[in-house]
Structure 1
Amino acid sequence: MIRNVVGSVLALAGATAAVWSPFRAWYDGRHGSDYAIGDLFTGITGTGSGVIGSILLPFAFAALVTVLGVVLRSRLLVAAAGLVVLGFTVLWMVRVGQAEGSLVVSGDGRGLGDGVANAFGGAVLLLLGALVMSGRPKAHRLEPAPPRPTQPTLDGPPPEEPYGTGQPYGTGQPYGTGQPYDTETRSMPYAAPGRFDVPVEPPRDRDDRPGTG
């Protein structure tokens, strides 16, 4: 987030410097807005040009691309705007050098002016802003949820008998009889004879009771 803010400030400052540069002196006191955009491709002439058809046009386009790149947080757009400003500035210098025979830098207002420095500085700030920006955050893809464990079907083996018997359902008789269920009638047999029988004392006659007779 902080990188995007710093990069956006640098990019906007560079675009402002680039747009402002044609209104400054470029060579021998001649402003950049006086150079026709067509002269950059055919050769520099002494004929002036209107502001709209001057070198200001590509710089204004670069500023528009910069604003769009800042809004979209696109490093590619900001870098492209910086390359446009740098490319047209270098092309102008080549054409002026061909027309003048050489390029000179003088402190008395002759030769290269501060408008060229503003254009170069704006291009550097645009490229630096694109380098500082972190761009748009990448979208994280959601990983698919792991498959749920399949439930046992009726065709599979029966679950084990609870209570730690270790025997599957339907094969062991509860209540400790140890006899299997009747698989045909699905009925539960009685306990084995004598397993849980309680001896019953035969009834006594009244005369046999203690204290009688």
Structure 2
Amino acid sequence: MIRGTAHLAVYDTFADWETGHTTAHLTRNGFAVRTVGLTTTPVTSMGGLTVRPDLALTELRPEDSALLVLPGATQWDAGDELAPFARTARAFLDAGVPVAAICGATAGLAREGLLDDRAHTSAASFYLAATGYAGGAHYTDADAVTDRDLITAGPTEPVAFAREVFGRLGVYDEKKLDAWYRLFHDSDASAYEVLQG
């Protein structure tokens, strides 16, 4: 039984390692994961993987989704090519559908004004400050941050990022979520038994 559909944004140079824990464990726990591109033309990840998007961004509607995931990519800092994804994130948040952004995608959301009144994090505060956004007072020096329906993380925290997604979507109860994080972040083998229980 499908618990919902998570949409993963894909574009050239997307950082494929940043969302691997998130998408793999959502799939293992009953969520469908569909990829979304600017078009359905294949894209190539930073790791050299070719991905053909399942749908174009113009086809994506918040009411058909449980989550929009935005990975980092060099394009976030190289012009406005990915700005349509940030505008879509605004539509999702306005509709009460969660958005999870990691690494450079946080800068895209900053430029869109989506971090101006929400607690958030990123690679570093000065990275977001360079966008000229107005949310610097809400920057939090943490692995990952959830404020209402927005999840943010820096590029070195794919496990903490996934934990926040799982918590927001109710993928695991609190005990199993803690065990999942201890297993994948801390290599705590004792957490495996809790996850299997």
TM-score tier after normalising by the smaller chain length: under 0.3
Larger relative contact order (Cα-Cα within 8 Å, sequence gap ≥ 6): 1
Counting strand residues as a fraction of each chain, which structure ranks higher? 2
Give me the TM-score of the superposition, normalised by structure 1.
0.21
Greater Rg over alpha carbons, structure: 1
Give me the TM-score of the superposition, normalised by structure 2.
0.22
